[in-house]
């Protein structure tokens, strides 16, 4: 069990990739503080599954773009799971809606940036006072942060590119304290994100253009998260790791 008795905070941890991450970290022995916002049924289902497996978990509703909600999650994690935090996984984020430059206004652009970048900043800032040497932070960027994203995704791509740069900056700033900071850049992963925002023919074209000739799945991402948080990745920091089946290379 790579993460036995480690305390890990997972934002956006009850559906799709987040759910797979929570279950994988639990299987590796972690104690979890899991955030969700609009997924009540999924949160209840996950709570029951984790309880049945004997995992010590706090599952709390909150808006990770609000400092007060972030602080509540972190404080509850510290209070209920042992007075420290060993890991943070920032899954929270989203595209919101596909909009071209002509269709966007400042309010929409700010909303997307706040969801993806500000939530990451707030969570990292909140957990680091409770971290010590050997702790690890893993942010979620995106392939869109590397290539600009698909049609109508410029705000999303811009915010995820900023997450990548923030990750590098934090790796430099927190490294002397023994805290590693990395990010994942998923490509086409089979989730409700793409069910909602990506046309079937586009998904098929992307999968066929990928060297592995398929989409990825949430469990594959979760396996990578587990590795990046573990001591097996102890000399990896400042890495924006692609997970896209070989579609693009950094």
> Which residue in 214, 196, 213, 200 sits closest to 156, CA to CA?
196
Retrieve residue 72's tokens: 């509540």
Going edge to edge, which strands form the sheet with 87-90? 57-61, 31-36, 7-11, 87-90, 136-140, 180-186, 240-243
Maximal CA-CA distance, the chain? 51
d(CA 213, CA 209): 7
37 included as an active-site residue:
no
Retrieve residue 43's tokens: 């949160």
Task: Specify whether the CB–CB gap between 93 and 162 falls below 8 A.
Answer: no
Whether the CA torsion 18, 149, 239, 248 is positive or negative: it is positive
Catalytic residue among 36, 37, 156, 227: 156
Residues 6+ positions from 118 with CB-CB distance below 8 Å: 65
Integer angstrom CA distances of residue 178 from 108, 128, 193: 37, 11, 34
Task: Kindly write down the DSSP assignment for every residue of 174-200, as one continuous string.
Answer: HGGGT-EEEEEEE-SB-SHHHHHHS-H
Which residues are identified as catalytic? 156
């Amino acid at each position: 069990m790579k993460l036995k008795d480690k305390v890990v905070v997972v934002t956006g941890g009850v559906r799709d990739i987040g759910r797979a991450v929570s279950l994988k970290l639990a299987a590796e022995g972690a104690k979890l503080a899991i955030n969700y916002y609009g997924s009540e049924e999924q949160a209840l289902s996950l709570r029951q599954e984790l309880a049945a497996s004997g995992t010590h978990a706090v599952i709390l509703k909150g808006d990770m773009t609000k400092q007060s909600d972030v602080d509540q999650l972190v404080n509850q994690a510290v209070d209920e799971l042992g007075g420290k935090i060993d890991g943070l996984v920032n899954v929270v984020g989203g595209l919101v809606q596909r909009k071209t430059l002509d269709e966007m206004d400042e309010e929409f652009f700010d909303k997307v940036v706040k969801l993806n970048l500000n939530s990451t900043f707030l969570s990292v800032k909140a957990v680091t006072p409770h971290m010590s040497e050997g702790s690890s932070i893993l942010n979620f960027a995106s392939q869109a942060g590397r290539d600009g994203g698909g049609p109508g995704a410029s705000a999303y791509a811009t915010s995820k590119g900023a997450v990548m740069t923030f990750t590098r900056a934090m790796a430099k700033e927190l490294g002397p304290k023994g805290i590693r900071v990395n990010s994942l850049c998923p490509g086409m992963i089979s989730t409700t994100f793409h069910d909602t925002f990506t046309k079937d023919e586009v998904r098929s074209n992307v999968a066929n253009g990928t060297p592995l000739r398929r989409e990825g799945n949430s469990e594959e991402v979760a396996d990578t998260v587990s590795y990046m948080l573990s001591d097996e990745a102890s000399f990896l920091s400042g890495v924006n790791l692609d997970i896209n089946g070989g579609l693009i290379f950094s």
